[in-house]
Amino acid sequence: MARTPRMAQIEAMLADDPDDAFLRYGLAMEHASGGDDAVCVEVLRDLIARTVAIPYIPAFLQVGQALIRLDRIAEASDLLRKGIDAARRGGDDHAQGEMQGLLDSIT
């Protein structure tokens, strides 16, 4: 997929603040919107690794969805389970329910 002006803008901002979870998530969503789920997964995995102390919960749902689109079901299941646990620990019942529903649909 071609790099879009929006991706370039987000990447430039990330150069100034590489740990900005919102920007990294936005970059992943730009790749997903462009149909590049493989890069979306890479960016989201990086985001998840960078936010271990305070998990960025939406990343788990999105990486699960992207992995499902790539037919990488076992990986999706693993990350969704981790996301469900992170959401539970963070008290995010809504995200926990969404990820559980997605997990249930693929297992």
* Full set of structural domains in the chain with CATH: 5-106 (1.25.40.10)
Residue that has been written with the tokens 């559980």 in this structure: 100
Helix axes 57-69, 37-50, angle to 10 degrees: 150
pLDDT, averaged per 10 consecutive residues of the chain (107 residues), comes to 86 94 96 94 96 94 97 97 96 96 94
The pTM of this model reads 0.91
The pLDDT, as a whole number, for residue 1 is: 62
